[in-house]
Each structure stands twice: as structure tokens, then as C-alpha cells.
Amino acid sequence: METKTIFKRIIDREIPADIVYEDDRCLAFRDIQPQAPVHILVIPKKEIPSVNEVSESDENLVGHLFVVIAKLAEQLGLKSGYRVVVNCGPEAGQSVMHLHLHLLAGRRLNWPPG
């Protein structure tokens, strides 16, 4: 039986999401459990489980995700700053095995992170 991740189901429009950007290679939507006033997830449409599985053939795609982050930051007027987070593996708290960049903004973000 096919088991899709929740993000693949969002890509396939099987479950709804508050989509803020889409193109042929990626999708950006608001996190269902926001950790900051702005909390957007940017994901490739290609199914890459985590950073561990990123290969040289994905270099352009992964760069594109950052271009989209920069565009969103401009559109949303995140002039005071923002944070981009990628959790990889259980100890980092990765809960969905489909590569995703968290874009967090709208409040003071402490360092070191929790």
C-alpha cells in the first residue's frame, strides 16, 4: 500500500493548506501549528525525505527553495529579519519526512534555539 507523507498529500491537493506560493518545483504554505506570527513551510514537489537524501542533482532545486524564501520575505515585508530552519532527523525534531524549510518571523527569535 502506498503511504504518502502529509506534505505529498498537500502537494496532491488531497488535504487543504493555506498556500502562499506555488510554482512547478515547489510549494509554500502556512504551518498548521505556527511557532511565530509568520511560519511558512517551503517544500520541493520532488519527494526528498530529508537533508540526508539531498544529492548533487538537487543543487539547483535546493537553491531555488532559498530564492523562494527571499521572495516571500520581500513580499511579506520581513524587514526586521527572519529565520530559516531545516530539521533533519529525530534529535532535531523532524516530524515529516519530506524536506521542508521553515520560514519564521514576526517575533524576536532567540539564539541558541531550543
Report the alpha-carbon distance of residue 61 to residue 6 in Å, rounded. Answer: 21
Residue 10, H or E segment: helix 6-11
Q: Does the footprint of ligand 5GP cover residue 32 (CB under 6 A)? A: yes
Min separation Cβ 87 and ligand 5GP, Å = 4
Footprint of ligand 5GP on residues 81-100 (CB under 6 A)?
A: 87, 93-96
CB of 16 to ligand 5GP, least distance (A): 8
Q: Does 50 bind ligand 5GP (CB under 6 A)?
A: no
Distance CA 78, CA 73 (A): 5
Query: Would residue 100 show up in a list of annotated catalytic residues for this protein?
Result: yes
Give yes or no for residue 63 binding ligand 5GP (CB under 6 A).
no
* Residue 58 in contact with ligand 5GP, rule: CB under 6 A: no
CA-CA distance, 17 to 92, in Å (whole number)? 24
> Contact residues for ligand 5GP (CB under 6 A)?
6, 17, 29-33, 41, 87, 93-96
